[in-house]
Structure 1
Amino acid sequence: MAAPFSSSVLRARFPLLPPTLEVDHLVVGGGVIGLAIAERLVKRFPNRSTYLVEKHDAVGQETSSRNSEVIHAGLYYPPDSLKTRFCIRGRKLLYERCERMSIPFRKTGKLILATQSKQQILYVGRLFMHTQHHLVNVPSWLLTGPEAREMEPKISEDISTAVYSPETGIVDSHALMRSLEKEIGESEAGEIVLGTRVVRIDQQPSSSPTNPGGWLVQTLTSGEEKPDCILAKSLILTAGLTSAPLLNPLLPPLDPEIISPTYAKGTYFSYKGPGVAGIQKLLYPCPEEGMVGLGTHMTMDLEGKVKFGPDVEWIGEAGEAERDPEFWTKHLGPSEGRLEEMAEAVREYLPDVRASGFAPDYAGIRPNISPPNAPNPDFKIIHSHPSLPNLVALVGMGSPGLTSALAIGEGMERFFSKVIWKEGEDGLEAPEEDDPRDGREWWEIKRPWWRVW
């Protein structure tokens, strides 16, 4: 596959072409969220074509397969946020799908641990109260230190209190994505095209009521020299780390929706050694003020292998992402030099672990849309933009993106039915009582995505 270039270089290299194929829905990006959206669209609209293009030779090769594989309960996010809405609903849909389709998973439970620090004790208390909010309503227990150690005797005597989340679990993310890929591929309306990247996007204005226009999307398949051009009646950008570089050239200059992405690398370390024998639950420290993510936590895979991470390492020089939107690929190796720092952080709640037991495992890059060291913003989904008709762009879809994916797919099904194709409620499932929609659809939430917590 050709090396990536900036959007201006790509537009000069690939002149405008007439389309050779027309589709109703074009999904760009084959991570778990793109797959979940495409799967819901092919089921809801069997008479409309849905294509998914993925630049790698297999789906889910970036953020979707380089994370903790945790099924989050929905503890942390503001009650009226998209993250709370999609995480809580997505968790339920994910457990149901795993049961129905024999996707490996385990409901492990999770402990969020506070030391003797007043700040951490207050954090855990506020977190527990937050879980009781009527729009959150996530099962949780507030524990004393001895009660937490009764659950997991290996944790530190310095742990003074904890929140226990019984709904947290782990899942085989690859098996989940294979199940979505299979259903799309076996449908009459869907197709997945691998090894194919988007090199140019242009708007085709409507020329008549019978020709509503759309988006001219040029794609280049690995091994080919000339691109193909697709006319997409609707376009869904869910390309993870490259969503912003695809979106920004389509927006007017100085448009407030233009994204300035930042890139945080997180390294995971496997662990074999003392201090973890018999631990069954996921262990999370309290996040520090201003921290990106949830701290260096202890998780495990479905075979019981323990891992710690991720840490946070900001990557990219000034202007590097504009010159090469895929510069981050050269940073995917784990950062071995951070081993001692990570071991020290873990010993705050598991005092018997030894640095000698840590080994670099893998690393992932997070699709951030906030500056370094700023608190995490909400998911950002651009839709109904006056300059972007029939285009939806999902950016900043980091954690809890894996847990939220099926609910995002469900939400996109509703959006396309009611807003894009204007079919109303016919054929849509009614919201369930425990679905925190509070009478509004996701696209009706006006809360600014950049409002942080």
Structure 2
Amino acid sequence: MADETVGVVGAGIVGLATAREIALRRPGTRVVVFEKEQRVAEHQTGHNSGVVHAGIYYTPGSLKAELCVRGVSLLREYCQDRGLPYREVGKLVTAVRADELDRMDRLYERAKHNHVPDLRRVSKDGIKELEPHAGGIAALHSPRTAITDYPAIAREFAKDVTGSGGEVRHAFSVTGIAHPTGGVEVVSVRERVRVDRLILCAGLQSDSVARLAGDRREPRIVPFRGEYMLLRPDRAHLVRGLVYPVPDPRYPFLGVHFTPRVDGTVEVGPNAVLALAREGYRLTDVSPRDLLGLAAHPGTWRMAARHWRTGLKEYRGALSTAAFMKDAGRYVPGVGPADVVRGGAGVRAQALDRDGTLVDDFRIHRAGRVTAVRNAPSPAATASMAIAEHIAGAVFGDA
């Protein structure tokens, strides 16, 4: 119906892309975005490294693979249309040990299945041609991998929403979700807003908000803080494009890597440290409520039993610059603790199943008038416009 009101909880890039898609796809529909912060893109979007992923890593046939590849083309076109930064700086996925070559080859086959454009294998000499200061014995080169400014894109999405007659309600912290006949009520401490349909894109709070709507308890969100170093300005020239390790398939994290930013800085990171608060951007940030939730969930302990050695290594990097840079130095030899300063940090909303499995694919669940995005980690920013198409198609039955 053209006179419907659709609510979206969360003004990160996925929530705003979804609100925008609905406003454009269904003229006359009123879209209201509910955001607990004073600005858009305050959490995962605002702490994103800015990489536009080409689709190398994701399981063929998964939502991640499908929506990442589709999302790249949509995002590139949008940035060009709006004059937003979009630079194809290229990526090397680099093997530094012989035992990584088989994994690299499997990654190549996966990426080809996902139709990653212009991907090729390069030798040690090929690495030096692309990145004169990089190490490694072989690599995959993805020349179309890009960097952008996701907070700027999110702000532009918000303008599109309001320009289409929608609204972004700031400082609206959702405390309840009710289900009156024929609609949904979004409740805060000050007011109740009735909508016809509701879409939950709550990121770090996605499981909590979904439970308010009566959705299933699993998966639960486990927050992982990713910390970055910054190359000193006089050392930033050592890296031209993105330099990544061959990822360990046991983990949904890509490992410490080198990332040029659109502002000219070069980040090194992130690590992946279990955070003790969902919005804990510092090592000292602790939320008793979030910590109790982690401790009470059996999946946390099962995850810890499997990955405690890796967890200890990540914590050493969080406490010691030398430890943090030990692995990074294998990919750009000669870069060490003296060449970096501490940078910022982000917190990744990682979904965890009850059996201790870290959820890899996007998870989107619909129950009646409420659709909940339950897991949307990287490459969700890259895929945001394609995720929005997917959600809108599912909600309105016109996929």
TM-score above 0.5: yes
Q: How does 1:215-230 map to 2 (within 5 A)?
A: 215-220=184-189, 227-230=190-193
3-state SS of paired residue (1:196): coil
CA contact (8 A) 2:359 2:375 kept: no
CA contact (8 A) 2:235 2:339 kept: no
**Equivalent of residue 268 in structure 1, options 228, 232, 237:** 228
Q: Write the deviation string for residues 247-289 of structure 1: whole angstroms up to 9, x where unpaired.
A: 124337xx5x632221111001111177652532100011235
Per the alignment, do residues 374 and 345 of structure 1 end up closer, same or farther by CA in structure 2, a change over 3 Å counting? farther
1:245 pairs with 2:184:
no
Letter of the structure 2 residue corresponding to residue 391 of structure 1: V
3-state SS of paired residue (1:132): helix
Quote how far apart the aligned CAs of 1:101 are.
0.9
3-state SS of paired residue (1:401): coil
CA contact (8 A) 1:273 1:357 kept: no
The match for 1:431 is none
Higher-helix-fraction structure: 2
Per the alignment, do residues 359 and 284 of structure 1 end up closer, same or farther by CA in structure 2, a change over 3 Å counting? same
**Equivalent of residue 177 in structure 2, options 197, 201, 205:** 201
1:410 pairs with 2:389:
yes
The match for 1:139 is 118
- Separation in structure 2 between the aligned mates of residue 379 and residue 302 of structure 1, nearest angstrom: 27
The match for 2:281 is none
The match for 2:319 is 337
3-state SS of paired residue (1:195): coil
Q: How does 1:169-208 map to 2 (within 5 A)?
A: 169-188=146-165, 190-204=166-180, 206=181
Quote how far apart the aligned CAs of 1:169 are.
0.6
The match for 1:95 is 76
**Equivalent of residue 320 in structure 1, options 289, 292, 315:** 289
- Separation in structure 2 between the aligned mates of residue 132 and residue 200 of structure 1, nearest angstrom: 45
**Equivalent of residue 344 in structure 2, options 351, 357, 362:** 362
1:127 pairs with 2:107:
yes
The match for 2:244 is 284
**Equivalent of residue 348 in structure 1, options 313, 330, 338:** 330
1:116 pairs with 2:85:
no
Quote how far apart the aligned CAs of 1:324 are.
7.8
- Separation in structure 1 between the aligned mates of residue 232 and residue 240 of structure 2, nearest angstrom: 15
The match for 1:49 is 30
- Separation in structure 2 between the aligned mates of residue 373 and residue 67 of structure 1, nearest angstrom: 26
Q: Write the deviation string for residues 403-449 of structure 1: whole angstroms up to 9, x where unpaired.
A: 0001111222322332xxxxx5xxxxxxxxxxxxxxxx5xxxxxxxx
1:393 pairs with 2:372:
yes
CA contact (8 A) 2:38 2:171 kept: yes
Q: Write the deviation string for residues 324-350 of structure 1: whole angstroms up to 9, x where unpaired.
A: 89xxxxxxxxx8624222211111111
CA contact (8 A) 2:322 2:336 kept: no
Quote how far apart the aligned CAs of 1:59 are.
0.2
1:34 pairs with 2:15:
yes
- Separation in structure 1 between the aligned mates of residue 10 and residue 132 of structure 2, nearest angstrom: 43
Quote how far apart the aligned CAs of 1:178 are.
1.7
Per the alignment, do residues 173 and 186 of structure 1 end up closer, same or farther by CA in structure 2, a change over 3 Å counting? same
Unmatched tracts of structure 2, length 5 or more = 277-285, 295-316
The match for 1:82 is 63
- Separation in structure 2 between the aligned mates of residue 83 and residue 391 of structure 1, nearest angstrom: 22
Q: Which has the larger radius of gyration?
A: 1
Quote how far apart the aligned CAs of 1:402 are.
0.7
Quote how far apart the aligned CAs of 1:67 are.
1.7
- Separation in structure 2 between the aligned mates of residue 354 and residue 410 of structure 1, nearest angstrom: 44
Count residues with an aligned counterpart. Answer: 365
CA contact (8 A) 1:131 1:139 kept: no
CA contact (8 A) 1:290 1:373 kept: no
Taking every aligned residue pair, what percent have the same amino acid on both sides? 27
CA contact (8 A) 2:184 2:195 kept: yes
Give the stretch that moved more between structures: 146-155 or 312-321.
312-321
CA contact (8 A) 1:28 1:34 kept: yes
TM-score w.r.t. the length of structure 1 is: 0.76
Letter of the structure 2 residue corresponding to residue 34 of structure 1: G
The match for 2:43 is 62
Per the alignment, do residues 218 and 375 of structure 1 end up closer, same or farther by CA in structure 2, a change over 3 Å counting? closer
**Equivalent of residue 127 in structure 2, options 148, 151, 162:** 148
Aligned-CA RMSD value: 2.4
- Separation in structure 2 between the aligned mates of residue 129 and residue 353 of structure 1, nearest angstrom: 31
- Separation in structure 2 between the aligned mates of residue 261 and residue 174 of structure 1, nearest angstrom: 23
3-state SS of paired residue (2:93): strand
Letter of the structure 1 residue corresponding to residue 134 of structure 2: I
- Separation in structure 2 between the aligned mates of residue 376 and residue 41 of structure 1, nearest angstrom: 27
Per the alignment, do residues 274 and 289 of structure 1 end up closer, same or farther by CA in structure 2, a change over 3 Å counting? farther
Per the alignment, do residues 250 and 176 of structure 1 end up closer, same or farther by CA in structure 2, a change over 3 Å counting? closer
TM-score w.r.t. the length of structure 2 is: 0.85
Quote how far apart the aligned CAs of 1:23 are.
6.0
Q: How does 1:6-45 map to 2 (within 5 A)?
A: 24-45=5-26
- Separation in structure 2 between the aligned mates of residue 35 and residue 29 of structure 1, nearest angstrom: 8
Quote how far apart the aligned CAs of 1:375 are.
5.2
Quote how far apart the aligned CAs of 1:234 are.
0.5
